[in-house]
Chains A and B, each alone.
Chain A
Amino acid sequence: MIRDKYAIVGVGESERYKESKRSPLSMAVEASRNALADAGLEPKDVDCVLSYQHSDSCDGHSLGTYLGIRPTFYMDTFGGGSSTEMLIACAIGLIEAGLSSCALIYRSMNGRSGKRMGMGDDNLWDLHGIMEMLIPGGSFVVPYGITTPAQQFAMVAMRHMWETGTTEEHLAGVCMTFYEHAGRNPRALLHGKTLTMDEYKASPYIVEPFRLHDCCVETDEANAIIVTSAERARDCRKPPVYVMGLSARNCVPHANQYALDDITVVGGDYAREQVFGMAGVEPSDVQVAAIYDCFTWVVLAQLEAFGFVGRGEAGPFVAEGNLRMDGALPANTAGGMSSEGYTHGMNNVIELVRQVRRDYEGTLRQAPRTEVGMSTGWDGPHAASAMIVRS
């Protein structure tokens, strides 16, 4: 059992941009230096470099080189959501095996000025590759005009909303809550952006049922976190955030979500037992959360899949204000991917660490109770990661 044997000891970011005019390597170096300083570590203390990317980043060996790290293990895995928790699991496995002692995990991307998830069908996103690998069964959906995550997930959302009675007001509750949190975060892309229900409903559809505000932001930035053993964590600068449990890309039974008998079954339905079992806690024990929020509906789906609420109850749960700072489950407290920044999940994990460490103590940004926190990662509906941490 790895419960409480490993910790996140440092987090860091680069500047956040709409157009960085910088290389991913440059931003990654900045984020990593900030993470090392946060941890009170030197580059020589790190021997493992892990990242996730969509062929739009820098490689981990290069990052190590320009920081002054010679890795004994490096890996740049292809992926987006779910990758942060998955790479934390990998780091733990490598340290358990004696192949590493301290891991730097990063994500760096020009996700707004460069390769964007929601736009551009040219060579940046190779259609052959999309049909061959990125979308299982892609030849049977791409020719009909389904390519982006928004389009793919909307099909699942539409069915879920029809079956459960989830409404567009329920979706709006998610972004309205997270924009409110971004209002306290001067570094959030949408800091100061307010949104009323009328404004939400007046905003244009991207792909029904998703409107503009149901979709996360896109930014240019880099994020970095440092993971090591609980033993080594004692020598670090900040209070360690201990890993209690993990689930790493736990999958539904079919890689092609549209081929499931029930399209609304999601990875979290399987990750739930694994992560809570390992952590030895229940959903009701989680006091602060970072729920993968590429789209508002995805937050509702995960609240149900991970057992925070029953099926169809996530909409009302959020509408009642439970994800707010004074609610039962403060979530995405820096604004999330909805309104802070978008690195496919790492910015959510960084904020969770800051909450559990109580970096914001004495300010309105600090969630009241943070002994047990949880992040979720959504690779797609088909596979979920999750991590439960404690102070």
Chain B
Amino acid sequence: MSIDSKPKVAKPVPLDDNDQRPYWHAASQGRLVLQRCAGCGRHVHPPAPGCPYCGGADLVWDDLGSEISGHVYSYVVVHRPFLRSFIDDVPYVVALVELDGVDDIVRVTGNILGLENPSDVEIGMPVRMLWEDRGEGVTVPQWEPLSS
């Protein structure tokens, strides 16, 4: 029996719409898929109804699989949560991670899990993607440090 006296508040769930549904569906399978413009070839992230680079309307999906790595382009450490559901996580890191292994610039936001201290995060730090089951059918891509 849980000793928590407060009900746990669920973290926000991504919206469900036709542009982003494939992304989150792939996440539930532990895979990263990215939209790409069939016209100019650039990846489009977050997924959208049009290409922000050429205005093209023909967008396709690339399946990048489960072995995803990147490096930290920027980060913040949140000390005062706005969301009740993050009170127990404070202080927590949110990082904007630039993907390795793609031929253009793609950056994916996530927390960095498994850090000893938030102060261990630095710009340039290598990380690998993992998938976090949030319950209620919600899985989100996350990051963890990649030991070299």
The answer, yes or no, to whether A96 is at the interface (CB within 8 Å) is: no
Bound state CA distance, A388 and B73, in angstroms? 35
Whether B12 contacts A159 by the Cβ 8 Å rule is no
Whether B12 contacts A142 by the Cβ 8 Å rule is yes
Give the interface size bracket for A toward B. Answer: 35 or more
Whether B74 contacts A256 by the Cβ 8 Å rule is no
Bound state CA distance, A138 and B109, in angstroms? 11
The answer, yes or no, to whether A151 is at the interface (CB within 8 Å) is: yes
Bound state CA distance, A141 and B141, in angstroms? 11
Closest 7 CB pairs of A and B: A139-B14, A159-B74, A208-B77, A154-B76, A137-B46, A205-B79, A145-B86
Using A119-B82, A259-B45 as known contacts, say yes or no to A143 and B123 having CB atoms under 8 A apart. no
Bound state CA distance, A263 and B110, in angstroms? 16
Residues of B near A121 (CB, < 8 A) are: 82-84
- Looking at B14, B74, B81, B109, the one whose CB has the most chain A CB atoms below 10 A away is B74
Bound state CA distance, A159 and B105, in angstroms? 16
Whether B94 contacts A151 by the Cβ 8 Å rule is yes
Using A147-B82, A261-B105 as known contacts, say yes or no to A131 and B14 having CB atoms under 8 A apart. yes
A125's closest neighbor in chain B, by CB?
A: B82
Using A120-B82, A205-B79 as known contacts, say yes or no to A256 and B46 having CB atoms under 8 A apart. yes
**Cβ-Cβ contact count across A and B, 8 Å cutoff:** 106
The answer, yes or no, to whether B49 is at the interface (CB within 8 Å) is: no
Residues of B near A162 (CB, < 8 A) are: 74, 123
Sample of 9 further A-B pairs with CB below 8 A, known A119-B82, A138-B15, A155-B94: A139-B14, A141-B94, A145-B89, A151-B78, A151-B94, A209-B76, A256-B46, A258-B96, A261-B105
Bound state CA distance, A254 and B105, in angstroms? 14
Whether A159 contacts B73 by the Cβ 8 Å rule is yes
Whether A156 contacts B92 by the Cβ 8 Å rule is no
The answer, yes or no, to whether B6 is at the interface (CB within 8 Å) is: no
Bound state CA distance, A123 and B134, in angstroms? 22
Residues of A near B118 (CB, < 8 A) are: 208
* Chain A 77-102: CB-based contact to B (< 8 A → 1; otherwise 0): 00000000000000000000000000
Whether A148 contacts B140 by the Cβ 8 Å rule is no
The answer, yes or no, to whether A328 is at the interface (CB within 8 Å) is: no
B83's closest neighbor in chain A, by CB?
A: A121
B76's closest neighbor in chain A, by CB?
A: A154
Distance (whole angstroms) from the CB of A196 to the closest CB of chain B = 22
Bound state CA distance, A143 and B20, in angstroms? 14
Residues of A near B92 (CB, < 8 A) are: 145
Using A139-B20, A146-B94 as known contacts, say yes or no to A151 and B14 having CB atoms under 8 A apart. no
Distance (whole angstroms) from the CB of B113 to the closest CB of chain A = 11
* Chain B 73-106: CB-based contact to A (< 8 A → 1; otherwise 0): 1111111111110100101101010000000010
Report 19 cross-chain contacts, Cβ distance below 8 Å, ordered by A residue: A138-B15, A141-B94, A141-B109, A142-B12, A143-B134, A145-B11, A145-B89, A155-B74, A155-B76, A158-B76, A158-B123, A204-B79, A207-B77, A207-B78, A207-B80, A208-B118, A258-B107, A259-B46, A263-B74
Bound state CA distance, A33 and B123, in angstroms? 52
Q: Which of A144, A145, A156, A204 contacts B74 (CB 8 A)?
A: A156
Whether B111 contacts A145 by the Cβ 8 Å rule is yes
The answer, yes or no, to whether A321 is at the interface (CB within 8 Å) is: no
Whether B83 contacts A158 by the Cβ 8 Å rule is no
Whether A139 contacts B80 by the Cβ 8 Å rule is no
The answer, yes or no, to whether B65 is at the interface (CB within 8 Å) is: no
Bound state CA distance, A148 and B92, in angstroms? 15
The answer, yes or no, to whether B13 is at the interface (CB within 8 Å) is: yes
The answer, yes or no, to whether B52 is at the interface (CB within 8 Å) is: yes
* Chain A 109-129: CB-based contact to B (< 8 A → 1; otherwise 0): 000000000111100000110
* Chain A 132-171: CB-based contact to B (< 8 A → 1; otherwise 0): 1000011111111111100100111011001000000000
Using A206-B80, A259-B52 as known contacts, say yes or no to A143 and B140 having CB atoms under 8 A apart. yes
* Chain A 201-224: CB-based contact to B (< 8 A → 1; otherwise 0): 000111111000000000000000
Whether A131 contacts B15 by the Cβ 8 Å rule is yes
Q: Which of A127, A132, A140, A158 contacts B109 (CB 8 A)?
A: A140
The answer, yes or no, to whether A253 is at the interface (CB within 8 Å) is: yes
Residues of B near A132 (CB, < 8 A) are: 15
